[in-house]
Structure formats: C-alpha cells, structure tokens
C-alpha cells in the first residue's frame, strides 16, 4: 500500500463549498451555483450574432470565453450585466442631505507614488499606475458608494484603488488622518501659515466598473480585484510544481563536476552563432564577445579562426533547419549553442560549461515531438509592428518563441492548471504563470551584470514593450522562475478580503459600453500612449495560452506596421478612436463630474491629439499636473526628449444647467460670460510646488479665451466676440490678480494664500515660434518695461529652439505689432510708472509728467492695457489675414510660414463657414505642424466634420 504524507492528503482534500450567496437580487445555494447559472446565461448571449457584433468583441470560441469568465462579475467579452449592477448600486446609495450640491476643484497637486508595494508588484504589465496614486484622486472626487469607471483598465489598479478607499490603514499610509467616524483629513496651510488638518473625504469602498479591449488585461484585473484563497492557491501551486518535477525533472538534471552528484538546473545560457564576414567561420557570440572578467559584451573582438577584428553588426546570423512536428513542415531558426549551466545541489549554487552528458540530454530532448496539448497560434504579422524583427528569427507561430524544453514544461504546467476544479484557484494559478511565460521563452535575456554589479536573478529578463529575441538567452527552469513568484504572490494577497460585489469587469472596446447615460460618478483612465506600445500584439503571447485574443481593429494606437496599409492607423485614426472613447465616457458620466486622464508620450503631436479628442468629446480641461511613478520606463530614462513624468489631465463634463442656458445664450455675448463664470468655478484657486505658490495657467486670459473658443466651435457656433473684446470684458466682470482672473469668492482665498506664501512663481518659458515669443516678451516687459537695446540680447538667447517651419520675425516687428513704446509725450504710462517708482528711490512720489520720470521712461516698451489695445489688435489681425490670403493663393506646399497667420485665417474662415479654405490651407502645411498645434488641429477636424455633414 502506498504511503501518503499529511502534505499529500491535504493536497487531495476537496474544497468546501461556500454558503448561500446573493447576486443581482437572486439567492444561490453557493458560489458555484451562482457561477453555473450566469455561465448558462452568458452562453445564451454568446449564441446571439448581434452580441458578437459589438465593437471590440474578443476573438475566441464560446467555450474559451466561458472558461475564462466569472459571470456576472467578470466576462472575457462585453459584460451584459454592468448596467444592472449600476442600477443596483444607485438604489443602495444613502440619501443625500437636502440641498446637497456636488462641487470639486480639480486635484491640482503633483502626485508621487513608488512602485514597491507588494500588491502593485504582484503582476507585471506594459504600463501601470500605482493604485495608491489613483486613491488620492478617487478620495478627492468621490464619496463612499460612488461609482468609478476605467475604460482602459489594464491590470485593474483603479478597481484596487476604489476598494482600498475603505481600508483605514492604507488610506493613512498616504499621509492622511482618519477620524473614528471615517472622516478623512488632509494637511493644509491656513491663512496664518500654520499647518492644519481639514476634512475632505470619507472612508469607505467605492464601486468600480472596469473595461479593457484586451482579455489578458481584464484577466489580470479580475484576479487583482477578487477574493483569493491564498492557502488553496499555494497548495495547488506546490502540487503542480511537484508534478512537473516528476514529469519533466529529467530534462533539468546535470552532473556535478565531481562526476557523480546530480544537480538541478536553475538556468542554461545559450548563445547565437554568427558567421565571420572575412572567413565565413562560425563564431559563438558569447564565447568570443564576452569579457569574462567584467562580464560585459565587447563591441569588437577577434575572429577565433582568422583573427580579423569583427563585431556583431558586421557578422550575419547562422540558421539551422528543423522539422516542426506541430506544423508538420520544415522550418528555420537561429543556430544556438549552450555555453553555461547554472545549477544547485541542495541550496548551494554551482556553475559549469556543458559536458557531453548535457549535450546528449539536449539531443534526446530535441528528438521529441511537440506535445499534442500545445495549441499554437499564428502571429497576425500583417497588423504587427514587430513583424520584421520576428520573421528574421524564423518566428511565425507562438510556439517558435520557446525552446523545446521550455515548451514542454510550460505546456505541462498549463494543462495541470486547467484540470484544477476550483474556478478561483484555477484563475489565480494562471495569474501566477502567465506573467512568467515571456521569461520562460527565448525572449529572456542573459544579463550577468545587473544594476552595475555582477550577478542577479535571471528571471523575467525580457525587454519590455517589444518582441526582442536576444543573442544571449537565459533558459530558466520552471522551479527557478516560478518558486519565487509563488511566495511573493502569497505574501501580496495574504490579507486579501472578499472584493466581489465592489468591482465588475468587461472586455471590449470603450467606444461601446453597456452603461446608461449620466450614471457614473467619476472616471480615471490611463489610455494608450499613441505609438509607445502595441498592447494587442504584446499580449498575443499570453492570450494565445488563455484562448481569447484581442480584436486589434479598434485598438487606439498609432500603428507602425507597414504591410497591411488598409488597416494601418495613423495619428488621425488614433485621434478619432480616442474621441469616440471620450464621447462614450462623456455620455455615461454625470453632469458636473470629473474625469482624470493619466497620459505619457514623448511626442507633442500625440499629446495634442489627446487634448483635441477631449475637447471634441465635450470635456473641458481645468488642470494639468504631474504624476511621478518614481521609476522611469526604458525610453523615458534614455531618450533626451522623453517625458519623465506622466501628465495628469483633469477635465469635467459641464453641468446640465449651464448646457441648457447655453442653448439660449450661444448667439449672444452673454453666453461667453456665462461660460467663463462657470469654467472659473471648476479651476484650482492655487497651485503649489512644495511651499511655493505657482501661477495657474488655466486662469490666464489667453487660455480662458482659447477654452471659450474651443467650446463654441465644438457646439458649431460662431464666436461672438474678438480676443480684444474678450480681454476688456474679462477685466470688467472678474477680478484680476497677478495676471489671473477669479470669481469674488475665489479671490479672497487666493489673497490669503498669497499672504503666507508670497507672489506666485512664473513657469519658465521655451520660445519656439511667434506665439511663444510674444508670450515670453509679455512676461519680460510686464515685470520690467525695457528699451529695445535692453530686450534684444535677452531675446537672441531664446531663439535656439525656433521651429524650422515657423517664419522668424524681427524683434522690432514683434514689438510693434503686440506692444506699445512710450515716446516721451504725455504722462508716463501706469505700468512704467509703477515699475520705476518701485525700483528707484529718487523717482518715488513724482507726478507722471515729471521731466526726470519722463526721461527715465522714454523708449521703454510695455504691455498695453486691455482697454487701450484694441487698435493694436486690429492692426495685427489685419496683417496676419493679409498674409493668410497669400497662403490661400500659393499652389505648392508651404515650408516656412507664420503659424499665427494660419490660426487667424482659420478662425476667420470658421466664422464665415468657409470650411473648404481651412481644409485647403491645412493640406499645404507640413502634417507634423498641423498635428502638433492643438488650435489648428481643432479648426481642421471640425472643418472636415462640417464638410462631411453638408
């Protein structure tokens, strides 16, 4: 009779069924019964052809989708029950006090949160925002039981954040205080400069709706946001590792250098073999290129055959033919050689070069057929960026990314996981291994030097964001790769609470959501960053094992693929897709509520596309701040132009009252001031950087004018007021402080903050074109009115970054068109008088016509008062429109031109409904100029839309 240990008997013990559960008003005997009922309901939905026509519907069989899903909480397809949950949650909300009115200023503080939290690190993904950073935004904009939505949920950190808003310890770890009644306090500075704690939110779980186009992403999000039975997970994981050792352990055995003791392999280092360009001899890359003392790869080294100085770039890769038993055809792959084996005997680590026994073992493995259980999928190269790189290595199918030993062990583990009876344990086991799949493939780089030191783990060393097959591969054993992850996951989830009921997840495009209008309280999204990542093709590797694939067609990226030009997406298609997503979010968000968009891209054109998409969807941007993840990506750290801090856009959906009023006021000037009055309420009164008070750019009159114009254009109305009239009206109706405009109740708060912190700091300017040059001059001479000879040398220092397409104006022309110069006639202008009397003792208290003061003030340039700048503005506009007329007549492409003239011309053409002129001139200017200018892009997109509708 077989002897069984206590450990073995525990492994075989069936899980106890859960007690009665209630879901969507229905009570079930246990959770298994609940899942069985809704799985059948989902099966019926999947048989409806119309359901499968929903945009972004994943690619997979009914059975694969059902096996991955946990309906109604999580579905690996669009979730049909989301609207039902929202209705149930709304009905459960506590009654609001009589007269309650929701109001929040945008969260204007810069946020910094590290990535060292165990939960955050439980699973890797291409991009991820720390959940503790998201918590700050959710706590600011919502109250307990409010519903949060994330349409690009990735790993589900927004769901984790929403639910952890009910965890006192986690909330306090953010630097807040929590009173016994659940009131959350944050530290602020009062009018006397003292630190005080003020209430701003309440402790309590927020509900979350998560959605993503990628089944891999929503699968991770589900595991992050559901109950985990850590003991059951650990038990099954250890059992599977034990079984894989019985099945595949012989493949990872090696003989110790004593010739008799067997060791277990941690990893094997493989090197690609190249051909010398001089003698055509074979060169094992790592044997010749690696300096064994420094463990670094040399740029140049001698050929072992002819001694010619060679480099990797000069050599060509060698290939070998092999029979692919899965495809039943002969294929080619790079020729590789094992050069080092790292193994252990007990806990002691050893290293050696492969001996004859090791090579014989590899030959024995190579003679095996690929297991029948492996279901490999062909890569859709027509739609992929990485096609040239992968095809050059002979990779056409997923299984080509694995050495045969790797394929055997990963396939065996995946099959054993699929046999686990408990759904949630099975999902957690897949969560455990799916992040290890790239690290157990040929993508895993051998990196002997890490963080500047010799040594380090070889687990999951693949390059993120690309399919990069290195010349030196580290082939890890399943135990070496998975054992550490097992203990880390168990630690991360050991305090996991039952989260089902607080977060629900669907898979599909955010352009079509099963959510009623005006039903979401707050939105936090982290959308795709243009052409930084091709999420669908990067996820294809894992999704092929999960059995459900992303539909790439509606993916909001800028596509670099070259082959399938019919489906290729440029910046325009990316903007249209993002606009469609934002329009859907606008539809489901309650009026007067907020959306936070976390965004990072190194290109101004992509950044502008996001801003234009937001505007066209109907959102109004109120603030842009920074989110420092405390760990730059590879590109952000090494690229000089990269954005090292993600930008966070705070945008709101106008409340219904204003929208109704605007329909009546749009044709009148009162509509302008109603917009400004409403918009000012949504803007931060102050911004800080540490103890320093900063300018609030959104309160600048030019920014306010641009926001008003954008709103009118999106609504399809002509703008009833000129820039100059706007400036005059602004100064008459609102209160100005330090070049910013406030409502009466806001200015009192601003004055208090200014008393304790001092005058606000101006942000440094970067001059690249006419508009930024004017803004730089305005800032310079407003602070200190100066003569031309004083201004010129300072101006010349700013011209290094001038855009190559922008006509460079002479300083005198810029000054004459935009500013005034005191000629010594009449009283000294107020701006010059204030500056001189403040900075020269002998000029104080002198009348404005005093000869000494007049002499000191003569020839100084100053910023005209809004009430007196009308004629100057008209002359400038006349000159710009004259230049625009020339652009209209030009037959060829414009290489150098005045961007301000194009902006003025587009504005005039819009007022006259001459959309064809906008489109015609836009076709003459370089595409990058159009894409990198949000104003031009807005006029152009709207003109194209109007022409299409006429």
**Start-to-end CA span in the chain (Å):** 86
Name, in order, each residue with C-beta under 8 angstroms of 98's C-beta and a sequence gap of 6 or more: none
Please tell me the distance from the alpha carbon of residue 468 to that of residue 749, in angstroms, as a whole number.
55
Please report the pLDDT score of residue 584 as a whole number: 97
Contact 274, 315 (CB under 8 A): yes
- Whether pLDDT at 504 is above 80: yes
Please report the pLDDT score of residue 531 as a whole number: 58
Mean pLDDT to the nearest integer, 416-422: 92
Please report the pLDDT score of residue 672 as a whole number: 93
pLDDT digits over 767-826, tens only?
A: 778 888 888 898 889 889 999 998 888 888 777 777 778 888 888 988 988 889 999 998
Contact 263, 297 (CB under 8 A): no
| Residue 355 DSSP class | -
Handedness of CA 120, 135, 87, 82 (dihedral sign): negative
The string of DSSP letters for 193-250 reads S-EEEEEEEE--PPEEEEEES-HHHHHHHHHHTS---HHHHHHHHHHHHHHHHHHHGG
Range of lowest pLDDT (207-221, 252-266, 374-388, 711-725): 374-388
Please report the pLDDT score of residue 329 as a whole number: 93
Please report the pLDDT score of residue 498 as a whole number: 44
Please report the pLDDT score of residue 677 as a whole number: 94
Query: Where do we find the tokens 């325009």?
Result: 572
Nearest to 261 by CA among 364, 339, 342, 346: 346
Nearest to 206 by CA among 92, 115, 96: 92
Distances (CA, A) of 5 to 2, 12, 241, 670, 862: 10, 11, 17, 83, 90
Contact 272, 472 (CB under 8 A): yes
- Give the 3-state secondary structure of residue 773: helix
Token pair of 570 as six digits: 């440029």
pLDDT digits over 625-674, tens only?
A: 776 655 444 333 333 333 445 678 899 999 878 888 888 888 889 999 99
3-state per-residue secondary structure call for 703-766: HHHHHHHHHHHHHCCCCCCCHHHHHHHHHHHCEEECCEEECHHHHHHHHHHHHHHCCCECCCCC
Mean pLDDT to the nearest integer, 868-877: 74
Confidence of residue 6 (pLDDT cuts 50, 70, 90): very low
Mean pLDDT to the nearest integer, 599-625: 81
Most confident of 42-56, 101-115, 609-623: 42-56
Contact 578, 608 (CB under 8 A): no
Sequence-ordered strand ranges (E) for 318-416:
319-324, 329-334, 336-345, 348-352
Better pLDDT: 610 or 465: 610
Cis before 906 (ω within 30): no
- Give the 3-state secondary structure of residue 304: coil
Query: Where do we find the tokens 């587009």?
Result: 906
Better pLDDT: 561 or 596: 596
Please tell me the distance from the alpha carbon of residue 387 to that of residue 382, in angstroms, as a whole number.
8
Contact 602, 643 (CB under 8 A): yes
Distances (CA, A) of 108 to 25, 514, 596, 687: 41, 32, 11, 6
Contact 447, 139 (CB under 8 A): no
Please report the pLDDT score of residue 15 as a whole number: 42
Contact 663, 656 (CB under 8 A): no
Please tell me the distance from the alpha carbon of residue 666 to that of residue 571, in angstroms, as a whole number.
32
- Whether pLDDT at 493 is above 50: yes
Most confident of 176-180, 483-487, 727-731, 923-927: 176-180
Nearest to 701 by CA among 658, 730, 738, 669: 730
Share of the chain above pLDDT 90, in %: 47
Please report the pLDDT score of residue 181 as a whole number: 94
Mean pLDDT to the nearest integer, 289-316: 89
- Whether pLDDT at 869 is above 90: no
Confidence of residue 467 (pLDDT cuts 50, 70, 90): confident
Compute CA 234 distance to the chain's CA centroid, rounded to the nearest angstrom.
33
Give alpha helix (H) positions in 869-932.
870-889, 899-911, 915-922, 927-931
pLDDT digits over 900-939, tens only?
A: 899 999 999 988 889 999 999 999 998 888 888 888 888 8
| Mean pLDDT across the chain | 85
Token pair of 940 as six digits: 């152009």
Please tell me the distance from the alpha carbon of residue 379 to that of residue 392, in angstroms, as a whole number.
14
Name, in order, each residue with C-beta under 8 angstroms of 856's C-beta and a sequence gap of 6 or more: 836, 840, 843
3-state per-residue secondary structure call for 440-469: HCCCCECCCEECCEECCCCCCCCCCCCCCC
Please report the pLDDT score of residue 941 as a whole number: 86
Better pLDDT: 678 or 845: 678
Query: Where do we find the tokens 């070889």?
Result: 458
Most confident of 17-21, 384-388, 390-394, 636-640: 390-394
pLDDT digits over 707-765, tens only?
A: 998 888 888 888 888 888 898 899 899 999 988 999 999 998 898 888 877 777 766 66
- Whether pLDDT at 11 is above 80: no
Stretch (H or E) spanning 33: helix 31-46
Please report the pLDDT score of residue 937 as a whole number: 86
Please report the pLDDT score of residue 7 as a whole number: 26
Please report the pLDDT score of residue 868 as a whole number: 67
pLDDT digits over 47-85, tens only?
A: 999 999 999 999 999 999 999 999 999 999 999 999 999
Stretch (H or E) spanning 584: helix 571-588
Name, in order, each residue with C-beta under 8 angstroms of 507's C-beta and a sequence gap of 6 or more: 58, 75, 76, 77, 78, 79, 211, 212, 213, 214, 215, 218, 548
């Amino acid at each position: 009779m077989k002897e069984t240990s206590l450990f073995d008997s525990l492994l075989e013990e069936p899980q106890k069924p859960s007690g009665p559960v209630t879901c969507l008003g229905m009570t079930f005997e246990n959770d298994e019964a609940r899942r069985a009922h809704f799985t059948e309901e989902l099966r019926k939905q999947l048989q409806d052809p119309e359901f499968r026509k929903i945009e972004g519907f994943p690619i997979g069989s009914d059975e694969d989708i059902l096996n991955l899903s946990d309906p109604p909480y999580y579905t690996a397809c669009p979730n049909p029950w989301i609207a039902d949950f929202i209705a149930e949650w709304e009905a459960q909300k506590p009654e609001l006090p009589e007269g309650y009115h929701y109001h929040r200023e945008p969260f204007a503080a810069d946020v910094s949160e590290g990535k060292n939290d165990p939960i955050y690190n439980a699973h890797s993904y291409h991009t991820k925002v720390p959940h503790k950073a998201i918590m700050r935004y959710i706590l600011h904009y919502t109250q307990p039981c409010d519903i949060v939505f994330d349409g690009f949920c990735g790993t589900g950190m927004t769901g984790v954040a929403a639910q952890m808003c009910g965890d006192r310890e986690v909330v306090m770890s953010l630097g807040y205080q929590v009173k016994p009644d659940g009131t959350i306090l944050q530290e602020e500075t009062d009018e006397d400069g003292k630190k005080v704690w003020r209430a701003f939110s309440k402790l309590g779980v927020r509900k979350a709706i998560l959605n993503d186009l990628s089944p891999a992403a929503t699968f991770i999000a589900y595991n992050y946001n559901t109950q985990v039975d850590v003991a059951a997970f650990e038990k099954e994981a250890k059992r599977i590792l034990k079984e894989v050792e019985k099945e595949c352990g012989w493949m990872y055995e090696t003989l110790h250098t004593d010739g008799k003791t067997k060791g277990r392999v941690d990893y094997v280092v493989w090197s690609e073999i190249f051909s010398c360009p001089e003698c055509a001899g074979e060169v094992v890359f790592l044997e010749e290129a690696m300096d064994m003392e420094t463990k670094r790869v040399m740029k140049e080294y001698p050929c072992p055959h002819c001694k010619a100085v060679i480099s990797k770039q000069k050599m060509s890769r060698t290939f070998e033919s092999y029979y692919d038993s899965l495809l039943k055809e002969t294929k080619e792959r790079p020729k590789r050689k094992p050069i080092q084996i790292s193994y252990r005997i007990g806990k002691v680590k050893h290293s050696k070069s492969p001996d004859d026994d090791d090579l014989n073992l590899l030959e024995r493995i190579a003679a095996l057929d690929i297991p029948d259980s492996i279901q490999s999928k062909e890569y859709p190269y027509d739609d992929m960026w990485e096609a040239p790189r992968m095809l050059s290595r002979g990779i056409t199918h997923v299984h080509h990314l694995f050495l045969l030993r790797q394929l055997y062990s990963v396939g065996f583990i995946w099959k054993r996981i699929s046999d686990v009876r408990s759904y949630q344990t099975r999902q957690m086991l897949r969560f455990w291994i799916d992040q290890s799949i790239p690290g157990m493939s040929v993508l895993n780089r051998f990196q002997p030097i890490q963080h500047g030191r010799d040594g380090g783990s070889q687990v999951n060393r693949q390059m993120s964001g690309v399919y990069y097959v290195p010349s030196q591969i580290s082939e890890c054993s399943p135990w070496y790769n998975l054992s550490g992850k097992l203990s880390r996951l168990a630690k991360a989830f050991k305090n996991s609470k039952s989260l089902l009921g607080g977060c629900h997840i669907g898979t599909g495009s955010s352009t079509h959501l099963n959510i009623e209008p005006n039903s979401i309280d707050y939105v936090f999204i982290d959308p795709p960053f243009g052409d930084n990542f091709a999420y669908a093709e990067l996820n294809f590797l894992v999704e092929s094992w999960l059995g459900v694939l992303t539909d790439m067609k509606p993916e909001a990226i800028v596509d670099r693929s070259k082959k399938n030009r019919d489906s290729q997406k440029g910046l325009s298609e990316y903007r249209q897709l993002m606009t469609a997503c934002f329009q859907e979010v606008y539809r489901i968000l309650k009026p007067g509520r907020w959306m936070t968009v976390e965004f990072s891209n190194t290109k101004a054109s992509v950044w502008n596309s996001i801003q234009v998409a937001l505007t066209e969807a109907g959102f109004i941007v109120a603030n842009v701040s920074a989110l420092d993840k405390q760990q730059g990506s590879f590109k952000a750290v090494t690229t000089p132009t990269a954005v090292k801090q993600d930008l966070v856009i705070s945008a709101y959906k106008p409340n219904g009252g204003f929208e109704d009023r605007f329909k009546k006021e749009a044709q009148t000037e009162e509509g302008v001031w109603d917009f400004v009055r409403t918009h000012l309420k949504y803007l931060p009164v102050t911004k800080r950087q540490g103890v320093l008070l900063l300018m609030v750019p959104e309160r600048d009159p030019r920014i306010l004018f641009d926001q008003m114009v954008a709103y009118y254009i999106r609504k399809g109305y002509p703008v009833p007021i000129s820039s100059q009239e706007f400036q005059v009206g602004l100064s008459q109706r609102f209160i100005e402080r330090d070049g910013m405009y406030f409502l009466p109740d806001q200015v009192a708060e601003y004055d208090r903050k200014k008393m304790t912190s001092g005058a606000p700091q101006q942000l440094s300017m970067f001059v690249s074109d006419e508009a930024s040059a004017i803004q730089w001059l305005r800032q310079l001479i407003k602070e200190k009115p100066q003569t031309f000879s004083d201004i010129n040398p300072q101006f010349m220092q700013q011209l290094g970054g001038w855009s190559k397409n922008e006509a460079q104006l002479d300083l005198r022309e810029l000054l004459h068109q935009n500013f005034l110069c005191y000629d010594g006639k009449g009283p000294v202008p107020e701006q010059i008088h204030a500056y001189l009397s403040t900075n020269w003792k002998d000029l104080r208290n002198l009348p404005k016509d005093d000869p000494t003061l007049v002499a000191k003030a003569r020839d100084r340039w100053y910023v005209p008062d809004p009430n007196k700048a009308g004629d100057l503005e008209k002359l400038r506009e006349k000159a710009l429109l004259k230049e625009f007329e020339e652009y209209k007549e030009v037959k060829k492409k414009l290489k150098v031109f005045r961007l301000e003239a194009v902006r003025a011309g587009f504005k005039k053409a819009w007022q006259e409904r001459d959309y064809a002129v906008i489109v015609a001139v836009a076709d003459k200017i370089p595409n990058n100029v159009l894409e990198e200018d949000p104003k031009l892009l807005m006029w152009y997109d709207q003109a194209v839309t109007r022409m299409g509708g006429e």
